[in-house]
Amino acid sequence: MGEVIVVTSGKGGVGKTTTSANIGTGLASNGHKVVLVDTDIGLRNLDVVLGLENRIVYDLVDVTSGNCRLKQALIKDKRFPNLFLLPAAQTKDKTAVNPEQMKTLAEELKAEFDYAIIDCPAGIEQGFRNAIAGADRAVVVCTPEVSAVRDADRIIGLLEAAELRNPKLIINRLRPDMVKRGDMMDISDILDILAIELIGVVPEDESIVVSTNRGEPAVMDMGSKAGEAYRRITKRIEGEDIPLMNLEVPKGIMDRLKRLIGLR
Amino acid sequence: MLEFISRMLGRESASSKTVAKERLRLVLVHDRASISPAMLNKLREDLVKVISNYMEIDEAALEFNLCQDDREVALVANIPVVKMKRDYATKGLAE
């Protein structure tokens, strides 16, 4: 029996889809059988992030409304034998699916896969309710900005109201240089406010843009810092207790000089 | 002035992250209270009921709101009293 994990945030643009793609790919490359489900009906994107946009025949709505069987809609990722995508419909809207249908789908997916990663749309309306309906666990993605943290707080409240207890937090796009200057909230500031368990911190990294351009998740790029962060998150999701990534800013010559003459 | 001096000395008095955290803390007090108009109405009714035990109030002119300024969230009620209830003393004794 597998597990359904929803990746959510409230606010848009904080990296839900990128996070979903990387966690899913990471879990698959560790040998688990994984399905990624895009529930952002009308604004599907997980397909392009994964580089599978040219292979869509059927979608989520086709499955939930009985137009096709689940197996027909699943797209197999050729790079990873254990990774599948269930794409969102692009021409319909969020009301094309309801939470009951999502629960049924989740049960079906759990019978077939080790992990089902649900990429939730932004917002707190029906798309959100659909995405969390069949989930066993939730991961909340948040960037170190007031708007994202505020929305994450709201989402955590809604998840708890929906009996999805103990959501885990991913702090995305952290910039250690700005944190050091005191111009960005750090990990402890955000944990202070949200008071939930942290499962990972992903640094801001240009390689994410490059990997998204190519449709290859950064988690497979051994040279990428964000990729390293996602590999650690993947292991933590599997239950391994490994430390967070070291995000210290490398010390420049001026820093060393200042320390030497006692200015710091 | 002190702020200016400390800034001159390179000690930023309020880094932008401190500002962010403080603003978030306050806005979340409000958000988490998540007071719906229905709940606020119920609270208002309950409050009127309790106060009416002691004094006669002008319900039509009653103002009742959740206010937020930069520092705190407050429940502000302006309740015009028409007159004190004379029978309160005897009621209070009877209990």
- Predicted TM-score (pTM) of the model is 0.79
This model of the complex carries an ipTM of 0.77
Handedness of CA B22, A201, A139, A145 (dihedral sign): positive
Query: Within a domain: residue B78?
Result: yes
Domain count, chain B: 1
**Phi, psi for residue B13 in degrees, rounded to 5:** -70, -45
List, as ranges, residues 7-66 from B with C-beta within 8 Å of A: 12, 15-18, 20-21, 23-25, 27-28, 31-32, 34
pLDDT digits (tens, 9 = 90+) for A47-81: 999 999 999 999 999 999 999 999 999 999 999 99
**pLDDT value at residue B30:** 74
- B25 with A193: Cβ contact below 8 A: yes
Closest chain A residue by Cα to residue B23: A146
pLDDT digits (tens, 9 = 90+) for A167-185: 999 999 999 999 999 999 9
pLDDT digits (tens, 9 = 90+) for A195-218: 999 999 999 999 999 999 999 999
CA distance A51 to B13: 48
C-alpha A244: how far from chain center: 17
Query: Rounded to whole angstroms, what are the CA distances from A217 to A24, A73, A157?
Result: 9, 22, 30
Interface test mutation site (partner B, options A124, A180, A185, A263, max chain B beta carbons within 10 A) = A185
**pLDDT value at residue B26:** 84
CATH of the domain at A51: 3.40.50.300
**pLDDT value at residue B86:** 75
- A185 with B25: Cβ contact below 8 A: no
DSSP state of A114: S
Query: Within a domain: residue B68?
Result: yes
CA distance B63 to B61: 6
Beta partners for residue A4, in sequence order: A116
The stretch A98-119 carries a mean pLDDT of 97
CB atoms within 10 A of CB B30: 14
Query: Within a domain: residue B12?
Result: no
Residues A41, A61: contact at Cβ < 8 Å?
Answer: yes
Residues sharing a CB contact under 8 Å with residue A204, sequence separation 6 or more, in sequence order: A173, A174, A175, A226
How distant is the Cα of B85 from the closest Cα of chain A, in angstroms? Answer: 44
Query: Within a domain: residue B25?
Result: no
DSSP state of A40: -
CA distance A93 to A142: 25
CA distance A140 to A152: 7
- Structural domain including B81 reads 35-95
Cβ contacts of A153 on chain B, cutoff 8 Å: 28, 31-32
Select the residue of A149, A157, A182 nearest B24 (Cβ to Cβ): A149
- Structural domain including A111 reads 3-260
Residues sharing a CB contact under 8 Å with residue B6, sequence separation 6 or more, in sequence order: B13
Cα B11–B14–B17 angle (5° rounding)?
A: 115
Structure tokens of A167?
A: 């959501």
Q: Does the pLDDT value for residue A252 go beyond 80?
A: no
Domain count, chain A: 1
- B28 with A179: Cβ contact below 8 A: no
Query: Within a domain: residue B92?
Result: yes
